[in-house]
A and B are shown apart, each in its own frame.
Chain A
Amino acid sequence: GESVGLHLPTLSVQEGDNSIINCAYSNSASDYFIWYKQESGKGPQFIIDIRSNMDKRQGQRVTVLLNKTVKHLSLQIAATQPGDSAVYFCASLTQGGSEKLVFGKGTKLTVNP
């Protein structure tokens, strides 16, 4: 079955540093990946996505890298700010199959001032 997991449950960084959050997936047929940010007491919020025909995609201060060979993706946050403190989830989808997004357990990012 498809599963998505995270390497580290927590990550603590200093304000201004870059953050890297990692995620592994198990289904090689997964072809669409999304990163979500969840702040305390709120629902997950879309950050960035990437399709399997790409290995890198950049947004505002965020970059997602996809390595299909080892079934790994990462979220890089540049110049991390206190407002980035949240739980980050990766999710994967196989577009040709079920539309069910499979979420990882989440990584809690804490940004220290």
Chain B
Amino acid sequence: DARVTQTPRHKVTEMGQEVTMRCQPILGHNTVFWYRQTMMQGLELLAYFRNRAPLDDSGMPKDRFSAEMPDATLATLKIQPSEPRDSAVYFCASLRQTQGAGELFFGEGSRLTVL
């Protein structure tokens, strides 16, 4: 059963620490998204990639966040240094495109708590 895999599922860290979240998209999906979900803001798009190239990261605070795809099977989202306001659930999603659009498959999320 193909699915998007995210690690870690839960992370508690202290302010100032570096946090790295990882995502393995579904094999064959060439578009990968990072979303952040909070109660106040809902689901916000942070960045997305196609064929490993970043297409849009305008939703991401550039000073502390970075997103990369070292290879087609791994996407990373790094926060350095982390702050309490970064506490949220971070979702990775990958896309199977059909005629220009398709359904987004989400991972289970990484719940980050920054103390």
B-binding residues in A (CB < 8 A): 32, 34, 36, 41-46, 49, 89, 93, 95, 98-101, 103-106
Contacts and interface: CB of A to CB of B under 8 A. Distances in A.
Given A95-B100, A103-B43, A106-B42, A43 B31 contact: no
Interface residues of B, number: 20
A37 B93 CA distance: 14
Contact of B104 (A95, A101, A104, A105): A101
B105 interface: yes
Contact of B91 (A32, A43, A98, A104): A43
B25 interface: no
A34 B103 contact: yes
Given A43-B93, A44-B91, A93-B101, A99 B107 contact: no
